[in-house]
Amino acid sequence: MTAVTAPGAAPAGGRRIGVFGGTFDPPHVGHLIAALDAQRELALDVVLLVVANAPWQKLGSRAISPAADRLAMVEAAVADEPNLVASDIEIRRGGLSYTADTLAALAADEPDAELFVILGNDAAAGFATWERHEEVAEAAQLVVVDRPGTPTPIDDGFDWIRIDIPELEISSTELRQRVADGRPIRYLTPPSVVTVLSERGLYA
């Protein structure tokens, strides 16, 4: 899966870039573990946590925090992880956020890069409903971070890599509700994220 190079030799081709998109409202330890495990298992040079500007699949279903606040939380979450980077590429582009557009922009910036789209099990199960999902599958290797046990049902018409991660029953929805109820979210998200959302008065 990973090209082997001689000791001291430069790797062939461009960077191996993981693209892990999401609303991140807020980011939590489940997101970070998925990104770190994918980075390690696939020998990725970097994993971009791409903060959606306007997540088209969620618009109208609930109130979504401003993109700048969600980006600030992701930046805080990954500040001490050299291989994880918060990306504002979709925020800078504006409008609805489509992974196909993001991959095209990344490929234009780094034509030699090898791109990997990292999906949680829910996103992977619904991949065929994505806008221009065929373009996504053509532009990048699809990766599903799966919980041990029953594999996520995915469209086997596409080439997938599966990576097992610990089963953590954590969701951004739960964290928002806990904050709204005045309950602690320590250990469910990094302390730096708690600081940002508290300073910005999010979810309270």
**Per-domain residue ranges for the chain?**
16-199
Cβ neighbours of 20 (radius 10 Å): 25
> What's domain 16-199's superfamily in CATH?
HUPs (3.40.50.620)
With contact defined as beta carbons under 8 Å apart, do 150 and 121 qualify?
A: no
Tracing tokens 């980006």 back to the chain, one arrives at: 71
**Average pLDDT of adjacent 10-residue blocks, the chain of 204 residues:** 33 85 95 96 98 79 90 98 97 94 97 96 88 95 85 82 87 95 96 97 94
Which residues are within 8 A (CB) of 33 and not within 5 positions of it... i.e. 6 or more apart? 165, 166, 168
119-147 pLDDT, tens digit per residue, is: 988 888 889 989 999 999 999 999 999 87
- Of 99, 178, 154, the closest CA to residue 131 belongs to 99
- pLDDT score, position 112: 96
